[in-house]
Amino acid sequence: MLDTLINICNENKIKLILIYPPEFYNQNEKVLKEIMERKKTIDSMVTSACKKYNFYYKRFDTNDFKEEDFVDPEHVNIKGSEKYSVMMGNYLRTIIK
């Protein structure tokens, strides 16, 4: 499915940018280990495709986001969305010229 999306974008001269949004998990060690393993799997797959097809990939699940930026582990609140918007805008400026 990813290959199909990439091909459609390439055929239509669309710059493909895959974004991994912010997350915050304040869980026990077992849950955090499972999350980290999932992230490694996703990163491996997407990074490989990114190199093969020459598209952009950016992760925003960084230490810039704190627990107070979230409503729940996967959804930022207003403060978090403002921070995310600024970060996203700055990143997009580096791509779009």
Give pLDDT, residue 77: 97
Is 0.95 surpassed by the pTM of this model?
A: no
pLDDT per position as a tens digit, 53-97: 889 999 998 889 999 999 998 899 999 999 999 999 999 999 887
Q: Which residue has the tokens 């093969």?
A: 52
Q: How many CA atoms lie within 13 A of 24 on its CB side?
A: 14
* Alpha-carbon separation of residue 46 from 1, 11, 57 (angstroms): 12, 20, 8
pLDDT per position as a tens digit, 10-25: 899 998 999 999 988 7
* C-alpha 26: how far from chain center: 19
Average pLDDT over residues 17-38: 82
Cα angle, residue 59 at apex, residues 38 and 27 outer, rounded to 5°:
45
